[in-house]
Structure 1
């Protein structure tokens, strides 16, 4: 008799559990909104350290689930209540509670694009981060000159200038600065292929020197087909021990620059003043793109030693000083005199 009673209790318990499980399954598959027009997406931020009960209450307030208590039960039944990852999520009332739970556990947070243009310096990249507020810009700046952190990236340099590859990165809000830097440096290692490293060794150039030269090329022109020619000019000058005389390097070394490079700036004692200092500057002056890195490694087969702006985005290249002076007269001095005369 006693054994039959226990068996009956067990059967009832199984039946109740089955009914509850069936109801939970139906609820987990029942979204708040069944009309697609009502299922407008919204961004929900799950705070770091929030309890599962708090998260369920938040989802209920946002009208993404019907019942916080059932959502808590759903989470516990899947052992997911302690595995929620904080961050921004795009959710909508047309999602089933199970789908919402799966997304929170998987950490499928919203990713925002951060575009770093070719030729941007660390300071300019930090300004981009400061505008978007996705990554701590102040910490980013600090880490870029932190010697211990830089060594941990296996980089032998005083700063990460030139080592942060320009590209579009997709990051979650609140991404740590060190994590973004790791991704940017890793992208550089991918781009700087083993073949390019062998080429640098054949040219007796370190990776730091290649990136330095590539950054100067990057700042000198935005015209793709000119990069190899400008690289040829600089390689020829380096070989002959002629100062590079690159305005972008001078500008980089100035403490303040108002947009006008003056004659006195060319006498500045900065190590980046390539009018006074022979050879490459101490390090990169910006983040070069793949095209400029390749140009630094594979300069055009040309005897050019000079180039001057045509004032249309392109440059005129010369092999002799006499030819260069004529080009300066034609493209720089003569148009300037015309403009001055027109103003009078």
Structure 2
């Protein structure tokens, strides 16, 4: 029966046998030097055979009969890996391991070392898949078969979700992206407000992007912000000015509409409700601003959630929150610029995401009882 690889993989087997490779090699060299004057050629031969058997046995257990890790059941998604000029095998292996492309840095190192491939890696971005065999990943990295990177950011994603997705796809460092987003304001309408979590929130347009070369976190942010700026046409800017609405407040309102509405027909009506509440001095009372404060989304916010001490809490504070809470799409932006001609003051979504509207609080409570 073929030996089975234990749960911790080849690195566990080989690592426990040798420890760190440098330490083992150093120790072995010292021991052989000590024994060099004591062993006859026959004993040397026996020692060599023993070492060969141990090494081959370890290699068999570590790599299996095909010389590499057993492949996973199948690809679980695309991952982009970027090799920068001068990047060594250890750093490359770290990327591959982090994204589940390989399951052992030691296996990668061994095959690179024994194949003399340390200087063969070509800089560029490569399309990989989780569960690849180590030798296949190495072959792609030395082939120079780079690829165009494509990624999609859905409407309604916040900065944290964007950073997480880019990190998951191997396109950006999540912490670097979040740190940059705090003060990123490439256009004069992107304000750095004291209480806003991220200056860039709401101004990175949700879209599908293609990248043709190695990019930094700032490069990606620049591209998304430029997309937003181009989509905000003169007609839309003039309409906002006509409504006495700053671009910052437009995007803030649009982000609330984006998060509140699942269906197109609801967006202009919800925008109208928010405008009416602002006009009469009523708190916006948007659950979406509470969700923005939570570590994980909830199906329904609680009474305790409405008492969270934060300027983003639109139950406790009048007017708009300090800034956008997500990246709105064009439909949400246009809904704010062209709200519905209704007079509703309340709305509630049913479990399918369809909103129901009313003019009085009593009617609103009755609808809540019906749809919830």
Q: Shared fold (TM-score greater than 0.5)?
A: yes
Corresponding residue to 1:226 among 243, 253, 266: 266
- TM-score, with normalisation over the residues of structure 1? 0.64
Unaligned runs of 5+ in 1: 1-42, 51-84, 91-106, 333-344
**What is the match of residue 287 of structure 1?**
327
Report the Cα offset of residue 49 of structure 1.
Answer: 5.3
**Aligned-pair distance for 1:113?**
1.4
Deviations 1:229-285 (A, max 9, x none): 111111111111111110010121346666652211111121111111111111000
User: Aligned residue for 1:156?
Assistant: 191
Partner residue of 2:304? 264
Alpha-carbon shift at residue 143 of structure 1 (Å):
0.7
Distance 1:269 1:135 in 2: 32
Query: What does the per-residue CA deviation read over 1:105-140, in whole Å, with 9 as the maximum and x for residues that have no partner?
Result: xx9952121110100010000110111112222221
Which of 337, 340, 344 is equivalent to 1:300? Answer: 340
Partners of 1:181 and 1:152 lie apart in 2 by 10
Output the CA distance in 2 between the equivalents of 1:330 and 1:141.
Answer: 41
Match of 1:145 in 2: 182
Quote the residue 1:27 is aligned against.
none
User: What does residue 28 of structure 1 align with?
Assistant: none
- The residue aligned with 1:315 is 355
Secondary structure in structure 1 of the residue aligned to 2:165: helix
The answer to whether the Cα contact below 8 Å between 2:82 and 2:126 also exists between their aligned partners in 1 is yes
SS at match of 1:211: helix
Residue 251 of structure 1, aligned match among 287, 291, 303 = 291
Contact 1:135–1:173 at 8 Å: present in 2 too?
no
The 1:173/1:259 distance shift into structure 2, 3 A limit, reads farther
| RMSD of aligned residue pairs (Cα, Å) | 2.6
For 1:45 and 1:253, how far apart are their aligned partners in 2?
A: 34
Matched position secondary structure for 2:304: helix
| Distance in structure 2 (CA, Å) of the matches to 1:178 and 1:245 | 35
Deviations, residues 16-58 of structure 1 (Å, cap 9, x unaligned): xxxxxxxxxxxxxxxxxxxxxxxxxxx99875259xxxxxxxx
Match of 1:21 in 2: none
Aligned to 2:165: 128
Helix, strand or coil at the partner of 1:249: helix
Q: Which residue of 2 aligns with 1:60?
A: none
User: What is the TM-score when the length of structure 2 is the normalising length?
Assistant: 0.59
Per-residue CA distance 1:293-325 (angstroms, 9 max, x = gap): 111111001001001112221011112222212
In 2 relative to 1, CA 88–249 (structure 1 residues): closer, same or farther, beyond 3 Å? closer
Distance 2:297 2:147 in 1: 38
Following the alignment from structure 1 to structure 2, what is the Cα–Cα distance between the partners of residues 237 and 46?
52
Residue 292 of structure 2 aligns to a residue in which SS?
Answer: helix
Which structure would you say has the larger Rg?
A: 1
How many angstroms does 1:89 deviate by?
Answer: 7.0
Superposed CA offset, 1:139-165 (max 9, x none): 21111013xxx2444432341000110
Verify: 1:187 aligned to 2:222, yes or no.
Answer: no
1-structure distance, mates of 2:81, 2:154: 30
Aligned length: 237
Measure how far apart 1:217 and its partner are.
Answer: 0.4
Q: Distance in 1 between matches of 2:369 and 2:263?
A: 23
